[in-house]
Chain A
Amino acid sequence: MTAELPVRPERTATTRPATPPGPGSEPGPGSGPGSGPGRRRGGRGPGRPGRRGGRLLAPLRETGRLFTLAATVTRETFRRPFQLREFIEQFWFIASVTILPAALVSIPFGAVIALQVGSLTQQLGAQSFTGGASVLAVVQQASPLIVALLISGAGGSAICADLGSRKIREELDAMEVMGVSPVQRLVVPRVLATMLVAVLLNGLVSVVGTLGGYFFNVILQDGTPGAYLASFSALAQLPDLWISEIKALIFGFLAGIVAAHRGLNPRGGPKGVGDAVNQSVVITFLLLFFVNMVLTAIYLQIVPAKGA
């Protein structure tokens, strides 16, 4: 075991893996028992070049990549030729997997809000405002979130898995070698599709949720239809609808970008793709609720409430 051959940087390296790890794969955890802490220090972050900063900065780096992808997608959106076919196919796919669940989820969701708000206003003696309050909650908050969760759960996971498996089968590399940008060819149509589906679906969910709320409040809680509708027009205003659609648009964008980002960078192998799908959904959810909070705060600040 005295490796005395020339240009021989390490001695223990007879146990080193013969194949170079792909850019995404982690080095085997502690390759060999003899590897002390000094060797482990080579622990190479996410196995990518530029590992300055090590593990601490890894989340920041990922965030940076996410933003880069978002910027690239925005830029490539305007590059011809637009991939219309891919866009329509993706749009149809995402719409078809989300419409039914969205409608089915929005009925009980609208009902829950109506019931909760209804019983609360009953206690407060403000029953006549039940309609306005529950509809506002559905349109502004519930609907964009339901849409985003479904888009990310049903559409985003499929996008992520699709891109991820293409990546590990080297299809995306092949595409790049042929001088076709995978971002322009595949990611842009998908992100635009999620955005458009989100906006349209948001309308559907708002309507179904409102109808559900109406049904439960008027029929089950013996509210008066007239008061329900009157309070609605007394409290709600057009900007409430706008912010709802804007939220849906942004959430759709986020879901698409995060799914694409995770899909384009799976950590080696089929299991990596599975993990990527999982991560994409979780990351999207976290981002959604955070962004929703920010948007709501901004909206409440800049748009005066009706009658205030």
Chain B
Amino acid sequence: MGTEVVVEGLTKSFGGQNIWQDVTLTLPAGEVSVMLGPSGTGKTVFLKSLVGLLKPERGRVLVDGVDMINSPERDIYAVRRLFGLMFQDGALFGSMSLYDNIAFPLREHTRKKEGEIRRIVLERMEMVGLLGAESRLPGEISGGMRKRAGLARALVLDPQIILIDEPDSGLDPVRTAFISQLLIDLNAQIDATMLIVTHNLDIASTVPDNMGMLYRRNLVTFGPREVLLTSDEPVVAQFLSGRREGPIGMSEEKDAATLAQERHVAPAPAPRVLAPQLQPSPGLPERAAVERRRARVLAMLADLPEPARAAILQGQGENWGHGQGHGQGAGQDHDRGRGEDAGQDHDRGHGEREGQDQSRSRRHAPAGGGGAL
């Protein structure tokens, strides 16, 4: 089971410029959370602060009892092994082949034999659809492949907390959908706490259990997905519908005059539909987080705003009623037919599209994969 991450009163500035202040939230153990926010609101900075790469001036980040900001470096290094972080462009070691890149954490931190390392690395590479590209150098492959390789590297040590920086940037919609499914499958298999930083609306509306949004140096909200997805907060509503009308402007925010003008001109926004959450691929176990989250959300139900409460209660019936396979008929086309994809096949699909060596791609049984993880 994943590890809980508690963030308390985090404030970060660069020089005189405040990035965000007083961010307080808890990433519940084993659940998938998404941090939204317009470009340049310090989402990546937030991610890096969680692992202690950047040191905010105030506040703390508690992981396993260790404060990632103020504890001695030695403790921080020890706790970092619980983390897997996927950087925005992969951050692969340019001088090593993909295989060596992905094997790097294993070689550094475990005493596994080469044979076993090979097995694990190939398994992860298959998972992200990179089989056949083992010997390529990061400079020779596309941005999307680098990103997936970065994800594979973040996964080899079976992390308990996975942080993902913009999984969608530089990927086409289809690959983004596959990555979304991959992340959910991953969560079902290893039950890791996950935080995804993104501004992709598809990911935001279908992947997470919890959502938060950073805007204008503050954490707007953080809570169960239903809260943000049904929120009337102008900033959230504008962001989730991707409209020009609203408080967010081109350069962070608009002034009052423009806003007032918009109110007259702009057509009323289309009602938002709460898209169903993605389910693990067939053959995989149910996500353990779902049960825990249900108990947690039901306990806090009384404190939630009315629309969120309604959505949760409605979701109760759907989600926990008939497992996977639902949602294909949902109003929005978020699924892109993922439901029909057999679990093992989408990995192979990647291989084909990348023009990789198909013959090397072994079928891997999902159950075996789950057990090894």
Flag if A170 contacts B251 (CB, 8 Å): no
Q: Which of B13, B45, B87, B251 contacts A18 (CB 8 A)?
A: B251
Report the stretch among B77-85, B269-277, B356-364 that lies at the interface: B77-85
Within B24-63, the residues touching A (CB, 8 Å) are: 39-40, 42, 45, 48, 51, 53-55, 57
Name the distance in Å between A34's Cβ and chain B's nearest Cβ: 15
A154-189 CB mask vs B (1 if < 8 Å, else 0) is 000000000001100111011011111100000000
Flag if B15 contacts A166 (CB, 8 Å): no
Please count how many residues in chain A sit with their CB below 8 Å of the partner chain's CB atoms.
39
Indicate whether A179 sits within 8 Å of B85 (C-beta atoms), given known contacts A7-B218, A27-B17. Answer: no
Q: Among B53, B54, B249, find the residue whose CB has the most chain A CB atoms closer than 10 A.
A: B53
Q: Kindly state the separation between the CA atoms of A51 and B81 in the bound complex, as whole angstroms.
A: 32
Flag if A179 contacts B81 (CB, 8 Å): yes
Chain B interface category by residue count: 35 or more
Q: Among B55, B78, B83, B105, find the residue whose CB has the most chain A CB atoms closer than 10 A.
A: B105
Chain B hits for A14, CB < 8 A: 249, 251-253, 255
Q: Among B14, B87, B88, B153, find the residue whose CB has the most chain A CB atoms closer than 10 A.
A: B14
Flag if A18 contacts B252 (CB, 8 Å): yes
Report the stretch among B91-99, B167-175, B308-316 that lies at the interface: B91-99
Flag if B15 contacts A179 (CB, 8 Å): no
The yes or no answer to B69 lying at the interface (CB within 8 A) is no
Flag if A176 contacts B87 (CB, 8 Å): no
Closest to A2 in B: B256
Indicate whether A176 sits within 8 Å of B53 (C-beta atoms), given known contacts A4-B256, A21-B17, A181-B77. Answer: yes
The yes or no answer to A269 lying at the interface (CB within 8 A) is no
Q: Among A18, A42, A171, A178, find the residue whose CB has the most chain B CB atoms closer than 10 A.
A: A178
Q: Kindly state the separation between the CA atoms of A182 and B92 in the bound complex, as whole angstroms.
A: 14
The yes or no answer to B326 lying at the interface (CB within 8 A) is no
Name the distance in Å between B45's Cβ and chain A's nearest Cβ: 6
Name the distance in Å between A40's Cβ and chain B's nearest Cβ: 11
Q: Among A16, A42, A170, find the residue whose CB has the most chain B CB atoms closer than 10 A.
A: A170
Chain B hits for A177, CB < 8 A: 51, 53, 80, 83, 85
Name the distance in Å between B85's Cβ and chain A's nearest Cβ: 4
The 7 closest A-B pairs by CB, nearest first: A44-B15, A18-B40, A174-B91, A170-B91, A42-B16, A19-B40, A179-B80
A-B contact sample (12 more), CB < 8 A, given A44-B15, A180-B108: A1-B257, A2-B256, A14-B251, A20-B40, A23-B14, A27-B17, A48-B15, A166-B93, A169-B91, A173-B48, A176-B51, A179-B77
